Amino acid sequence: MTSEILHDPIASRLGYLLRRASSAMMADLGRALGEIALRPVEGTILILIGANPDCTQSDLGRMLGIGRTNMVPLISALSKRGYLDKSPVDGRSFALTLTKSGEEARRQVDKIMDAHEERFARLIVGQDVAGLRTALALIAAQPEDVPPS
C-alpha cells in the first residue's frame, strides 16, 4: 500500500499538525542557515544574546527550554567561532555578549529568519496570522494549564 492511498485518521489533530508544520519550517530554516554554517538553535542563541547583552547561559537555557548539559556545547561552539565574549559574573556564571563577528552573524541570521518567515507567511495570506501566533504562543507557554477533557 502506498502513502497516496493510505487513510490518515490523525491528519486533522492539532498536535500532529503542529509537529508537521514545525518540522517543515525547521527543515527549511536549517537549510537556509546552513549556508552560513549555523543551525537554528545557534542562530536563535545569537539573536537572544544580541537582544539581551550580559545574559547568562542559564538565562538562555531557561528561555529556550534547553538543559545545562546541552547548553554548554552550544555556547562553547559559538565562543570557539569567535561569536561570543564571556565575562565572569560569579564563581560559576558568565555574562555573554556578542563580538563584532557575532553581531555580523546575528544580522545575517535575522535576514535569513525574516526571509524564512515571509516565505511561510505567504502560504497563509488572508488567514488570521495574528490569531495563529496568539494561539501558538498560548499552547507553547501554558501546556500544564490545559484543562483535562
25-54 tens-digit pLDDT: 999 999 999 999 999 999 999 999 999 999
99-129 tens-digit pLDDT: 999 999 999 999 999 999 999 888 888 888 8
Q: What is the spatial distance between Cα 76 and Cα 84, in angstroms, rounded to a whole number?
A: 9
**What pLDDT score was predicted for residue 147?**
63
- What's the whole-model pTM score? 0.84
How far is residue 87 from each of residues 84, 102, 141, measured CA to CA in Å?
A: 10, 15, 31
* Distant-in-sequence, close-in-space partners of 2: CB < 8 Å, separation ≥ 6: none
| All domains of the chain in start order, with CATH | 22-140 (1.10.10.10)
How many residues are there in the chain? Answer: 149
Q: Which amino acid is at 77?
A: A
